[in-house]
């Protein structure tokens, strides 16, 4: 059994009863359209037997839609004003929903999630989305895939392919862990209050097998250096990071006159392999 999905009047009523309001400092924009949260639950492709962690559960609008699928949901919310309301709204779900009062930026993920194969589904605060996604990919292997709603520009960076204007260091970092794709736009009319930016959904699925951590760290080091001056040729941007950049780039089969935004994951992997081998030789 689940509780009723939240509409705009119901959301306003709950907030008024609790004597609180959406907090800009926490990036709170509540989804108040049942069709939207059911769409997200459907896109997450979850059902009975699945385990879902939701970050920024708010008043439980998406939480209830996730529970409707039959999945077990761990709903994490940092705002102490909202947690009692979240518990009230999800109480009809019984043991299908566990509410956790915690800040996602300091979560003990190992204690929160037992076992592997978790799904992360969330309407993420815009100021937290990119850093949280990268933290989960780096440090929380229990999460097998993510479906997150965030600012459209952030979603485009997370899922960008080489050659596009949105492609950058974040795109490569995500690619070292997972495959990412845009899963659809979300209109501002479904939020309360309406955000001043466009929103989008991005789906992220871990690679199997993963890239080894040592190699991934070297890729991170190279892309961070290269994209700091993304309009310059790689022979210039990587000079300080690797020394003889021309020799390394040629050994990796990469044109030294290319710019970082043109390189795909396979090329960054080859560059990192060559760089690590050169450093090992001293």
Residue pLDDT, tens place only, 173-214:
999 999 999 999 999 999 999 998 999 999 999 998 889 999
Strand partners, 150: 200
Q: 16 pLDDT exceeds 60?
A: yes
Residue pLDDT, tens place only, 94-127:
999 999 999 999 999 999 999 999 999 999 988 8
In which residue are the tokens 């709603």 written?
A: 149
- Domains in the chain, start-ordered, CATH in brackets? 8-206 (3.40.50.150), 213-281 (1.10.8.100)
pLDDT band at 1 (very low <50, low <70, confident <90, very high): very low
* Residues above pLDDT 70, as percent of the chain: 99
Residue pLDDT, tens place only, 248-259:
999 999 999 999
Q: 240 pLDDT exceeds 90?
A: no
Report the candidate in 115, 255, 208, 107 with the shortest Cα–Cα distance to residue 271. 255
Decide if 65 contacts 38 (C-beta within 8 A): yes
Q: What pLDDT is attached to residue 282?
A: 64
DSSP per-residue codes, 54-106: EES-TTSHHHHHHHHTT-EEEEEE--TTTHHHHHHHHGGGGGGEEEEE--GGG
The chain-wide mean pLDDT, for the chain, equals 94
Coil, helix or strand for 196? coil
Q: What pLDDT is attached to residue 208?
A: 87
**225-243 average pLDDT score:** 89
pLDDT band at 3 (very low <50, low <70, confident <90, very high): low
Q: In degrees to the nearest 10, what's the CA dihedral of 148, 151, 157, 163?
A: 130
Q: Rounded CA gap, 155 and 166, in Å?
A: 9
Coil, helix or strand for 181? strand
Residue pLDDT, tens place only, 19-68:
888 888 777 899 999 999 999 999 999 999 999 999 999 999 999 999 99
Paired tokens of 160: 């960008």
**Cβ-based neighbour number of residue 42 at 10 Å:** 11
């Amino acid at each position: 059994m689940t509780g009723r999905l939240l509409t705009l009047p119901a959301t306003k009523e709950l907030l008024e009863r609790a004597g609180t309001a959406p907090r800009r400092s926490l990036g709170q924009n509540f989804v108040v359209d049942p069709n939207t949260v059911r769409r997200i639950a459907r896109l997450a492709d979850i059902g009975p037997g699945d385990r879902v962690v939701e970050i920024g559960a708010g008043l439980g609008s998406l939480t209830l839609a996730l529970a409707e699928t039959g999945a077990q949901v761990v709903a994490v919310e940092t705002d102490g004003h909202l947690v009692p309301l979240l518990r009230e709204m999800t109480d009809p779900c019984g043991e299908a929903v566990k509410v956790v009062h915690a800040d996602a930026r300091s979560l003990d993920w190992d204690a929160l999630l037992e076992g592997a194969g978790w799904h992360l589904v969330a309407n993420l605060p815009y100021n937290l989305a990119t850093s949280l996604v990268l933290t989960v990919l780096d440090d929380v292997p229990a999460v097998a895939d993510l479906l997150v709603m965030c600012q459209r520009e952030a979603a485009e960076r997370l899922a960008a392919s080489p050659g596009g204007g949105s492609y950058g260091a974040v795109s490569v970092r995500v690619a070292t862990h997972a495959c990412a794709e845009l899963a659809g736009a979300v209109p501002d009319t479904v939020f309360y209050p309406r955000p001043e930016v466009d929103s989008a959904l991005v789906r992220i699925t871990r690679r199997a097998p993963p890239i080894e951590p040592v190699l991934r760290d070297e890729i991170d080091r190279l892309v961070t250096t290269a994209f700091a001056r993304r309009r310059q040729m790689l022979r210039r941007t990587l000079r300080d990071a690797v020394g003889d950049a021309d020799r390394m780039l040629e050994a990796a089969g990469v044109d030294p006159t290319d710019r970082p935004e043109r390189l795909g994951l396979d090329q960054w992997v080859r560059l990192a392999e060559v760089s690590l081998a050169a450093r090992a030789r001293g």
